[in-house]
Amino acid sequence: MSVYVASFTSPSSWEVIHDDARDGGHGGTIDPATVVHTTSIDGSPNANFLSITCPVCGATSTHPVGGGAQPSQVQQMFARKLLPPNPEACPCGNLAAGKPTLLTIAHLKTHADQLDGTGRWVVNTGDLGL
């Protein structure tokens, strides 16, 4: 389907799979800091999309906050970007870094609803091991 996070191995290393690569598929590990929000046409970071780069071939995939074909895995990726140990503020400007986990999830659920409609968000604190 794309380049995606298969396992949130540790706070400093995520296991990535690129399953539609020309060689049939490959994977590797990435620094979570290399997963970044995309840039809107006005140059500002877009809270609704994250981009992952394959550590093997450099291909990139962009994932929506609603999760696309893998809601749980992709939504966890959005949540972990904003949560400790390296919390970031939401690029929308309405959630500062370091806010409570449940508030962060509530905030991302708002983005997912706005993008994909109600009932789309599936991740909760238990899924994050928090």
Spatial separation of the C-alpha atoms in residues 16 and 46, rounded to whole Å: 22
The region of 6-14, 30-38, 76-84, 90-98 touching another protein under the rule CB under 8 A is: 90-98
Spatial separation of the C-alpha atoms in residues 94 and 106, rounded to whole Å: 12
Least distance from C-beta 61 to another protein, angstroms?
23
| Residue with Cβ nearer another protein (52 or 90) | 90
Tokens of 127: 């899924």
The verdict on 38 binding another protein (CB under 8 A) reads no
The verdict on 130 binding another protein (CB under 8 A) reads no
Question: Could you tell me if 127 and 80 are in contact, meaning their C-beta atoms sit under 8 angstroms apart?
Answer: no
| Exposure b/e, 104-126, CB count within 10 A at least 16 = b | bbebbbbbbeeebeeebbebeee
| Residue with Cβ nearer another protein (73 or 104) | 104
| Residue with Cβ nearer another protein (118 or 129) | 118
The region of 3-11, 50-58, 68-76, 88-96 touching another protein under the rule CB under 8 A is: 88-96
